[in-house]
């Protein structure tokens, strides 16, 4: 099954907020949130979380990575639930300590709010992104007991970013993979999500495939269950390889010119895609990084 709406995914596990920019909630004695979406969606996330938990509070918030659309409402959550403990990778924590990164996160969340207004999403917070402290450094491969019989393990799955952590709940066979797998777009297009390392992305996909998850949570737009989880992992591998071939072709044609190559890629895969879709500035930022990564790969010395 491909789930593209908020609500219950399986017993005790939910999409909160718009599926396009989700927060995942694992209910239990120590409720856990995964990622924090857009800043402006804070009230919508809070309402959905309170509808499920009632008077109880989430105990943990774990980030997959430091991008603006995965940490935006964390400060809002900290105000709503002061005892919330935030966990992330060591690299993610380092990124979030840099003022230049925080400025970019703030600006991209401001632009994201504008797109949400155009889409008619309500209610929205008008407050800007606010920095916050993290409490837990996730050690890849180290198991954490959430409650008797329920554990969580962070997995090192770089490729989209270098600070990337996926989260595996083996007892339920749930994997919060976010952009370690491709994103399923509303017109059926599969958007590969490697940014910094193409080969690490494929290695991460093989690690994910070997887990054989029953529930696969992507970063945006969809959750895959049952046989569709395996299909999407395989589709993610295919999408990455097709993107590599396409971009190498453009780079050869344009003799390595970044601007012209990015324009060619954008014209082919973004311009005619219907809304809702990734904001243009964020898309261009990511596409330029993907193109740079492929160009560097093409020019690696042969050993």
- Nearest residue to 258 via CA among 291, 296, 285, 282: 291
Q: What is the pLDDT confidence band of residue 274, given thresholds at 50, 70 and 90?
A: confident
Give me the mean pLDDT over the 115-135 stretch: 87
pLDDT for the residue 131: 93
33-90 pLDDT, tens digit per residue, is 999 999 999 999 999 999 999 999 999 999 999 999 999 999 999 999 999 999 999 9
- Nearest residue to 159 via CA among 207, 105, 87, 102: 207
Given a cut of 80, is residue 275 above it in pLDDT? no
- E strands in 119-191: 136-137, 143-147, 150-156, 165-169, 174-178, 183-184, 190-191
- 179 with 64: CB under 8 angstroms? yes
pLDDT for the residue 188: 77
- 182 with 191: CB under 8 angstroms? yes
Given a cut of 70, is residue 303 above it in pLDDT? no
Give me the mean pLDDT over the 185-195 stretch: 86
The structure's pTM equals 0.94
Give 8's strand partners.
14
Given a cut of 90, is residue 115 above it in pLDDT? no
Residue with more model confidence, 123 or 144: 144
Given a cut of 80, is residue 119 above it in pLDDT? no
Cβ neighbour number for residue 288 with a 10 Å cutoff: 17
Q: What is the pLDDT confidence band of residue 149, given thresholds at 50, 70 and 90?
A: very high
Nearest-5° Cα angle at 289, 185 to 136: 80
CA–CA dist 86, 66 (Å, integer): 12
Tell me what percent of the residues of the chain surpass a pLDDT of 90: 87
The two three-digit tokens of residue 144, written as one number: 């954490």
pLDDT for the residue 279: 79
Given a cut of 90, is residue 32 above it in pLDDT? yes
Looking at every residue in the chain, the average pLDDT score rounds to 94
Give me the mean pLDDT over the 143-158 stretch: 96
Q: Which CATH architecture has domain 2-139+160-239?
A: 4-Layer Sandwich (3.60)
């Amino acid at each position: 099954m491909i789930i593209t709406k908020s609500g219950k995914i399986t017993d005790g596990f939910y999409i909160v907020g718009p599926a396009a920019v989700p927060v995942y909630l694992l209910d239990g004695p120590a409720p856990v949130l995964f990622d924090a979406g857009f800043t402006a969606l804070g009230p919508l996330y809070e309402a959905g979380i309170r509808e499920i938990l009632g008077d109880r509070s989430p105990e943990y918030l774990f980030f997959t990575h430091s991008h603006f659309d995965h940490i935006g409402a964390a400060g809002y959550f900290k105000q709503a639930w002061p005892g919330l403990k935030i966990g992330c990778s060591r690299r993610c924590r380092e990124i979030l300590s840099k003022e230049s990164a925080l400025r970019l996160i703030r600006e991209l969340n401001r632009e994201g709010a504008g797109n949400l207004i155009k889409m008619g999403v309500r209610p929205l917070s008008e407050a800007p992104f606010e920095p916050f402290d993290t409490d837990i450094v996730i050690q890849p491969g180290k198991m954490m007991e959430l409650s008797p019989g329920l554990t969580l393990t962070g997995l090192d799955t770089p490729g989209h970013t270098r600070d990337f952590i996926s989260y595996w709940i083996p007892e339920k066979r749930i994997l919060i993979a976010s952009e370690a797998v491709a994103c399923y777009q509303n017109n059926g297009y599969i958007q590969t999500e490697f940014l910094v390392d193409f080969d690490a992305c494929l290695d991460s996909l093989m690690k994910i495939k070997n887990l054989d998850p029953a529930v696969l949570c992507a970063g945006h737009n969809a959750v895959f269950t049952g046989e569709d989880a395996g299909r999407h992992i395989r589709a993610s591998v295919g999408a990455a390889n097709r993107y590599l071939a396409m971009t190498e072709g453009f780079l050869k044609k344009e003799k390595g010119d970044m601007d012209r190559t990015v324009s060619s890629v954008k014209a082919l895969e973004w311009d005619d895609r219907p809304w809702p879709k990734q904001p243009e500035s964020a898309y261009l930022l990511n596409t330029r990084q993907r193109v740079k990564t492929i160009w560097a790969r093409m020019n690696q010395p042969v050993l």
